[in-house]
Amino acid sequence: MKKRFLSTQLLAFTAVSLFWGASLSESKELRVNITQSNGLVTLEAIEAPIEEVMDQLSREGGFRYHLFPEVKGNLISARFRNHPLQKVLKELFGDNHILKYKEDGAISAVYALDKKDRKLAHRNRRVQSYLNNSFFSLPQLKNIVSASLRRDYPAAKQFLVIPREDITGALQGYVLSFYIGSEQFPTMEGVQLEAKRVWAARRQPANQAKGAAFNDETADMSIVHPPSLDTYRSMRRSHEFITVEVSADFSSPPIKKFHKGLPDDLTMYPAAEELLAKRVGVSPEFRFIRTFVLSPMAIGFEFRDNISKQSYFVDAMKRQVFTSCGGIKMTKPRKRFDTERESRIEKQWLEIVSF
């Protein structure tokens, strides 16, 4: 009986040992151990994905990284003990990586890409241009984004390109609108007429309420208000168009806005025109000049009187009209050190310029 009990225990111990050993060998294949002391790295990886290796390296080393498509998915088997980080990266990627440094000499970012493939030479020049913070032309960025969008929407046809300027006239970006519908390609006149029709239809209940209140002397005129502008922008949400706004400002994402529908330049124009007529008076001499950036989330409309040459600036969202640039208070976002935001911005830039 005692022998049988001992045999049973021995078999159980053997089974557990085999299972534990198998589990260890299985986990060892994907295990990455990294310790860092005095700036030196100890790393052990056996058939580990390069993404996992860089995740742990970046956490220990306090840097960010970006792997380009041709580098992703590689399996790494390597051992390093008390090696400098630069040497470890050199062994992992050879010459196919770019390093960025902090002011104190520590590595701040690692970018892994294939420098030798001639087919990627043009892309690599764009990436290097961005990483060097050198001038990145807006027209080039516009073309890159257009090509990238057409890859995702092969049937897309460019409908509209609007230079996005600030109040002083300095070019800040471009608004690109593409038609992705299946019907006949629309005309600009047809879209403008539809925008006015939609605006008039949305305004009709408010106008009728105003007329009724005017005829009723006992009615309280103060309670008659037009509904929010957000309810008028049905064309902005049209799924037959895609609108993209791009900017070459390195402190913000290259794609500032992306939505299905038409740009506010078209959908909110009737509101701006009506507001100008209400505040200044109806005149055939008013001529539309341009749209411009009011804030990161809003645009303004500039009109000019052909006779007096006076410019009028309309903020349709706040229902305000100004006669000079000084009357418009530009809202500027606070610039604060946010490493997560910087990382998101950098990732989007690299995804765009690596196309």
For residues 162 and 340, which has the higher predicted lDDT (pLDDT)? 162
Residue 326 confidence (pLDDT) = 59
Q: What is the pLDDT of residues 239-294, one digit of tens each?
A: 789 999 988 777 778 888 888 889 989 989 999 998 998 888 767 788 999 999 88
**Per-residue model confidence as pLDDT tens digits over 24-58:** 334 344 455 555 556 788 888 888 889 988 988 88
Greatest C-alpha distance within the chain: 115
Torsion, CA 108, CA 114, CA 120, CA 122, rounded to 10? 40
252: its two tokens? 């913000």
Give the pLDDT confidence score for residue 36 in this predicted structure. 52
Read off the pLDDT of each residue in 130-148 and give the average, rounded to a whole number: 79
pLDDT at 219: 46
Is the pLDDT reported for residue 223 higher than 60? no
Please report the pLDDT score of residue 26 as a whole number.
41
The pLDDT assigned to 199 comes to 82
62-78 pLDDT per residue, tens: 888 889 888 888 888 88
The per-residue pLDDT for 236 is 55
Give the model's pLDDT for residue 231.
41
In 3D, which of 28, 31, 89, 79 has the Cα closest to residue 57? 89
Phi, psi of 307, deg, nearest 5? -85, -55
Domains of the chain are: 27-116 (3.55.50.30), 138-214+222-353 (no CATH)
Both tokens assigned to 344: 């998101």
CB 130 within 8 A of CB 348: no
Residue (of 158, 172, 117, 132) closest to 291 by Cα position: 172
Question: Can you give the chain as a three-state secondary structure string?
Answer: CHHHHHHHHHHHHHHHHHHHHHHHHHHHCCCEEEEEECCEEEEEEEEEEHHHHHHHHHHHHCCEEEECCCCCCCEEEEEEEEEEHHHHHHHHHCCCEEEEECCCCCEEEEEECCCCCHHHHHHHHHHHHHHCCCCCCHHHHHHHHHHHHHHHCCCCEEEEEEEEECCCCCEEEEEEEEECCCCCCCCHHHHHHHHHHHHHHHHHHHHHHHHHHHHCCCCCHHHCCCCCHHHHCCHHHCCCEEEEEEECCCCCCCEEEEEECCCHHHHCHHHHHHHHHHHHCCCCCEEEEEEEEEECCEEEEEEEECCCCCEEEEECCCCEEECCHHHCCCCCCCCCCCHHHHHHHHHHHHHHHCC
Tokens describing residue 274: 């009506």
Q: Which of 185-189, 221-225, 279-283 has the lowest mean pLDDT?
A: 221-225
Confidence of residue 177 (pLDDT cuts 50, 70, 90): very high
Percent of the chain with pLDDT over 70: 73
On average, the pLDDT of the chain sits at 77
Nearest Cα neighbor of 226 from 308, 298, 317 is: 317
Q: Does residue 91 have a pLDDT over 60?
A: yes
Q: Look at 97 and 353; give whichever has higher pLDDT.
A: 97
Decide: 106 and 62 in contact? Cβ < 8 Å: yes
- Distances from the Cα of 69 to the Cα of 74, 149, 316, 355, angstroms: 10, 18, 44, 10
Angle between helices 121-131 and 339-353 (to 10 degrees): 150
